[in-house]
Every structure is written in structure tokens, then in C-alpha cells.
A and B are shown apart, each in its own frame.
Chain A
């Protein structure tokens, strides 16, 4: 690897820009910009990226709007100090209204796909069944969805990862094995991956098949226009039709408005800003919402963490970040019963790790000195399936900026407690010397018995238990029944003739798995339907990457 110079890595974005792609950085505008297109797509993440490629290949003139900047492999230096402010919403510190849950979402071209950890799961069958039963989504059977997942798996090179897991993941497997808890390998959307471990800071080798290096370059090569540093403010609604999209230009820092605007006039508008931002745009636009559903039922997969200290080196910063998972605690109970949780290992880097570890001063410094011997497991909670699990609500501040109000229910806290118990038991079974459940009133425990006793008696409250989220879903729920959803099963917004929503915000519940492949597969289907509607011709099929 040492003989490979950076110059050998081709940056497809730089190549495309040199070839004359139409990319406008709104930060540089000296006048207001007006642009016309067949379709305006708001957001360039999983939903916007897939939609852009399909509609462009269908022969439509597409404009993509992105709030973040266009960054590419030449910028991805695997340093958290640069990655979080440049590539994440609110510098990686977006919080729920009560500031108790930290939310990781991308804000860059490619959206969260540029900074996710490559974990690829089809939508679980149980989730699709729940949607069919409760949201009337009868077309969303595993059989009907399979060709769409297969198409996107091929397009994005979702593969079985043959390289052995790193120690951080392997400890999850070994601990679970010894407790007879089944685990399996996570598939990844990578091609020629170097196994570096820095997916969360933007892939420096373009191995990750994110939207940034796949669908968006394809759309731009096909004539689409990309406008960066443009924050979609309002859809201008005239009766039941949108006749313009108004955006604010942001400066290069992404923090302040320049005062210039971008206005797009299109025949059709696709909202793909992701959960939180998509419902917020529609709320600011006063989109029809007769049943008060917009922004409600926003889900997070609330996630809790347990750290284990091992005698051997773990080096959780090195190697593919997520390669092992267990759905045992999803599969062994009813989907609408006690909260189920999925177990995975998170990558460990200094900023993410040090801010996650509770406490300060001497005790914190002592944990940090063991950074390379520390392993971590996370449990993500499946929210939105029981009557009690209603998710959060997107609200608009006075300045129109969204904030998510999310309350952890008692049932969710019960899941948190069970998950912390499970993770500690697995870590001790794997040989941990000390286990730290991430909770402000916990400490390091050196035996399973002492950890168990503590976890069972800790108070479970916001800000005391560290809860994070990397998967925001819902807020624009999908159902053909207008009492249950604001978009139809085809993605069309109820009550507007020329607006669709294509992103994770349309999910009526959480997914119960890392959501990227769910968004790819479902929006590929929606975008193909939209392409056929707009062109009157069969939609193009996406193939494998070149």
C-alpha cells in the first residue's frame, strides 16, 4: 500500500468538472439565479441520487439542489476535524429539541451516503408486512420489492465482504457465539475497498459506491445540473400545483445566507431532503396536510452504546467499520411487542469516541489512554411499530429552521436497558476486562454480575443515558389512505399534482436495519414510475458500475 501514491486515485468529480459538468456553487452567485428544468430534485442523498440518475437516463432535464458543498476524494483526508463541519448537518452535532439525542446526517453532495458506514440490508420482511397490514401498502411485498433491491445492489456493487472482520467486529461475533446468539456478516456497497476504516469521513479511495461516485456523476454526465450551497426554502404552491422552488444561497462556510436566491421552475418537484429537512420544506411551504401528519412519526433508531476494555489491541479505527451484526433481539419477539434492537459495532475514532465516553477529567483521560484496546457495540432500537412508539415531531423555529422533538417512551427505555445488558454480557463473554455502559451514572464494571446489577438499577432518562441516531426516517409517511399518509404508494404528494417525496422520510415506521438500501430500492421504484408517467415510455434500468 505504501507504493500507492494519491495520484493514482482517480477523482471522478474532478474529472467530470474538467469535462464540463454543469455545477453551480450558489455561494459564488453575484446575482439571483433563475433556472428551468423538467424536474427539480431537492437533495442529493440516497433518494435524490437514485432519482436523478433514473430521470436523466429517461431523457428528462434535471436540476439537483444541495444545501452542502461538493466535496470529493481529493478533500477526504480521514480527519474528523475537517469531516464533521464539512460533510455533516450542523457539524455532526444536530440535536433533538431537548438536546438529549445527537443526530448524524450528511450535508454534502451525496448526502448521508457520502459519510455512512456502507452497511447494506434489504428492508426486513417483517417491516414490509407491517406496512402492508397497517398502512395499506399492498404493493410492498418482499417479492415485489426484490427486483428493485437487486437492481440497486448491482448498481452500487453491494457485495458479501470477504475480508475478515476487524477485531472490533470480530469481538461482537466471538462474544455472541459463546452465548449462542446468532450473528451474520453485513454486506457492503464497495468496489476495490482498501479496508481503511474511514467511511464516515468520506471515502478517500472512491471505493464506497455512494451517490457521490455513482448516480450523481451519471446524471451530471447525462446533462443534469447540480446547484450546491442552496438551501431549499419554499415550494410556491398555487392551488394544487407548485409553480416554483425558492432557495437561499449559503456562503462557503454553509452557515450564513448570502442574500442571493435561486429559483427553479420545473414541471415536477421531487423532495429528497431526508427526514427532518423534507417535512420541514413542505411545512414551510404550507403543503396540504388535512390530517396533521406532516413531520409527525419521525423515527430515529435510538442507539445506545457499550464500550469494553480488552487485554489485546482492538484498534477499532482500522478496517471496514461494520461487518458483523445480530438480529437476534429483533427476531425473537413480536415486531409490535417489546422494543427490538439490532446489534452492530461502530468504528472508533478519537473525536467520536472521546465525546461518546461519559465523564471528564482523570477518569475520562484514563479511558482514553486505552483507546486502542477498547471495543464498542451499539444497539439500534426499532421504533414506530407499537402503538406507544409514535416517534418525534419536526417543528419549525421562528426562522423556519427545523428541530426534531423526540421523546423516549417508557417502552423504549426498557429496550435500552435490555440492550445495555445484552451488550455487556457479550463483551464479558468475549473476554472484556472492563465494560462501560455509556451512561452518566455508570462506571467501568469488571464482572458481568456487577455490570448486570448496575444496569438493572440505573435511572433511564434523557441526557443521563447517551442516545444517538444515525438513521432519521419518517415525517412524510406513505399510504394511499390520506388519513395515514401524506404521500401515496407511488411517492406522489397527496393534494399536489406535481410533487413527489423520494427519501427515507416516507417510511411509515423505522426500518429496523441501516436504511440506505431501503431508500435505494424504494426510491428506484418510485423514480421509475415517475419517469414512465412523465415520459410515457418504459423507465431505464440501472446497470452495474463501469
Chain B
């Protein structure tokens, strides 16, 4: 963790430039459109799959069904947010799925489909404490959406010894 954090900090400035360039490029490629609901396309789904596995490591069973469940609940959480916020999350995934941003800003060398869990953990940890507030807030958004979505699901309650609300009224 220490090594990857240091190497991440070293590319900090380059990363910032990449971020600005990638963000600009991303916006330039997208024509201005009215606010739409968040949609998870193929590459973004691979990124979210990798992030879910790291964020919920220790809580989520290692099955594709569990991952699908976690992704579905994350999407349900996003669907309740104002469209302007949904667009911010869309932009975040747009950024994460650009190769240079993934490599230099997130520090994940492999494609999301092949990303190693330790690399994704290092990425989340570095954004969590990053000196750029924007990356910190992106970490918090992923944290709250993925973790909140997971524990919103009744099927996860037994594992945390939560009996749920009384049946008669729920």
C-alpha cells in the first residue's frame, strides 16, 4: 500500500493534467444534452464490477450473482438522485473508463476487466485521502452508493445481526 501510494503521489501533477485533459476531451466528445438518467454502459460496468469487489471485500460473497446484486443496488441508489447528480456520476465513470485516467489518475494499470483487487484497493485508498477534493468526493460517492446500496438490501442484514423492522408493520 505504501509503495503504490508513493508512486501515486509522484504522478500527482501529471495526473492532474491528465484529469483536466481527459475531462475536457470527455466533455468535448459529448454533445451538450439535457440531463439524462445515469446509464451503465459496458466498460463502466466492468469498472463498477472491479470497484464493488474492492469496496465490499470481506462483506460480499465471491460469486457473480452477489456482484450483480451489489451493482443492481448501486444503480437503484443512483436512480433516486437528482439528474444533475446522476450526470456527475456519469462523468465520473466516463473518466474512469478512459485508459489514461484509469492508469494515471486511478493508478490501475490493467483494463478494468483484468484489474487486480490490490490495485483497485490502492486506487480507492489513494482517492480517499487525495489532496484534490474532487477525487476525495468521488471516493465518497462510490463509498456511499456501493456500501449504502449493499446494506439497504434485506438479504445482507443477517450478516450484521440486524433483525429488520417488525414484520407486522413492514
| B162-A81 in contact (CB<8A) | no
Tally of contact residues, B, Cβ under 8 A: 45
| With A99-B137, A351-B151 as contacts: A360 and B54 at CB distance below 8 Å | yes
Q: Which residue of A lies closest to B165 (CB)?
A: A78
Residues of the A chain whose Cβ atoms lie less than 8 Å from the Cβ of B54:
360-361
State whether the Cβ of A354 lies closer than 8 Å to any Cβ in chain B.
yes
| A364-B58 in contact (CB<8A) | yes
State whether the Cβ of A45 lies closer than 8 Å to any Cβ in chain B.
no
Q: A79-B170, A354-B148 are in contact. List 14 more A-B contacts (CB 8 A).
A: A1-B168, A91-B77, A93-B144, A99-B140, A100-B133, A350-B156, A359-B128, A363-B58, A365-B56, A368-B159, A397-B84, A441-B129, A462-B133, A463-B136
| A372-B80 in contact (CB<8A) | no
Residues of the A chain whose Cβ atoms lie less than 8 Å from the Cβ of B154:
79
Q: Which residue of B lies closest to A73 (CB)?
A: B169
Name the distance in Å between A354's Cβ and chain B's nearest Cβ. Answer: 4
| With A205-B169, A354-B147 as contacts: A81 and B153 at CB distance below 8 Å | yes
Name the distance in Å between B155's Cβ and chain A's nearest Cβ. Answer: 12
Give CA–CA (A362, B53) in the complex, Å: 11
Residues of B138-158 at the interface with A, using a CB-CB cut-off of 8 Å, are 140-141, 143-144, 147-148, 150-154, 156-157
| B169-A78 in contact (CB<8A) | yes
Hey, what's the 0/1 contact readout for A87-109 against B, CB within 8 Å counting as 1?
A: 00011010000111000000000
Hey, what's the 0/1 contact readout for B68-90 against A, CB within 8 Å counting as 1?
A: 00000000110111111100000
Pick 12 A–B contacts, CB within 8 A, sort by A.
A1-B166, A78-B169, A80-B152, A99-B133, A204-B165, A350-B160, A360-B54, A361-B58, A365-B57, A365-B58, A368-B59, A401-B82
State whether the Cβ of B121 lies closer than 8 Å to any Cβ in chain A.
yes
Tally of contact residues, A, Cβ under 8 A: 51
Question: Contact partner of A6 among B59, B79, B124, B168, CB < 8 A?
Answer: B168
Pairs of residues from A and B, 9 with the lowest C-beta to C-beta distance, nearest first: A365-B58, A85-B80, A78-B165, A99-B137, A350-B151, A365-B59, A362-B58, A81-B152, A91-B80
- Chain B residues proximal to chain A, CB less than 8 Å: 37, 54-59, 76-77, 79-85, 121, 124, 128-129, 133, 136-137, 140-141, 143-144, 147-148, 150-154, 156-157, 159-162, 165-166, 168-170
| B55-A360 in contact (CB<8A) | yes
Give CA–CA (A360, B128) in the complex, Å: 10
Residues of the A chain whose Cβ atoms lie less than 8 Å from the Cβ of B81:
90-91, 93
Q: Which residue of B lies closest to A89 (CB)?
A: B82
| A355-B144 in contact (CB<8A) | yes
Where chain B touches its partner, the secondary structure class is helix
Give CA–CA (A5, B170) in the complex, Å: 11
| A255-B156 in contact (CB<8A) | no
Name the distance in Å between B60's Cβ and chain A's nearest Cβ. Answer: 8
State whether the Cβ of A369 lies closer than 8 Å to any Cβ in chain B.
yes
Residues of the B chain whose Cβ atoms lie less than 8 Å from the Cβ of A77:
165, 169-170
| A361-B55 in contact (CB<8A) | yes
Give CA–CA (A80, B170) in the complex, Å: 12
Give CA–CA (A366, B166) in the complex, Å: 26
| B57-A354 in contact (CB<8A) | no
Name the distance in Å between B85's Cβ and chain A's nearest Cβ. Answer: 7
Question: Contact partner of B161 among A5, A196, A198, A371, CB < 8 A?
Answer: A371
Question: Contact partner of A463 among B79, B121, B133, B147, CB < 8 A?
Answer: B133
Q: Which residue of A lies closest to B147 (CB)?
A: A354
State whether the Cβ of A139 lies closer than 8 Å to any Cβ in chain B.
no
| With A100-B133, A100-B137, A255-B83 as contacts: A361 and B57 at CB distance below 8 Å | yes
| B159-A369 in contact (CB<8A) | yes
| With A355-B143, A361-B58 as contacts: A440 and B162 at CB distance below 8 Å | no
State whether the Cβ of A256 lies closer than 8 Å to any Cβ in chain B.
yes
State whether the Cβ of A2 lies closer than 8 Å to any Cβ in chain B.
yes
Question: Contact partner of B151 among A1, A205, A368, CB < 8 A?
Answer: A368
Name the distance in Å between A30's Cβ and chain B's nearest Cβ. Answer: 22
Hey, what's the 0/1 contact readout for A238-260 against B, CB within 8 Å counting as 1?
A: 00000000000000000110000
